[in-house]
Amino acid sequence: MILVDSTGAREFLEATVAAFSILGGVMAYSSGYFAARALAQDQPPEFLARRINEGIGHGFVWGSLSAVIALIIMVWS
């Protein structure tokens, strides 16, 4: 039988939720930023959609790095 410390499991779950929240937030911010830049340039809807998708991709790259760092910090503290 494996004994699990419920406090440690809860803290790890909270850290994981925080990491995914950071990832989602960075992706949302990045896609909105890219969309705002495209709208400011009066781009057609096809280009706007492409820029939003690119923003989500860039946000995933930066957000995943930020999420991992946050997860490590929260687990260690």
Q: What is the mean pLDDT of residues 5-10?
A: 78
Q: Are 25 and 64 in contact (CB under 8 A)?
A: no
**Residue 4: HSE in the Cβ half-sphere, 13 Å Cα cutoff:** 6
Give percent of the chain with pLDDT exceeding 90: 74
What is the pTM (predicted TM-score) of this model? Answer: 0.83
Domain ranges across the chain: 19-76
Query: Residue 55: CB partners within 8 Å, gap ≥ 6?
Result: 27, 30, 31, 32, 33, 34, 35
* pLDDT per position as a tens digit, 42-75: 999 999 999 999 999 999 999 999 999 999 998 8
> How many whole angstroms separate alpha carbon 50 and alpha carbon 3?
49
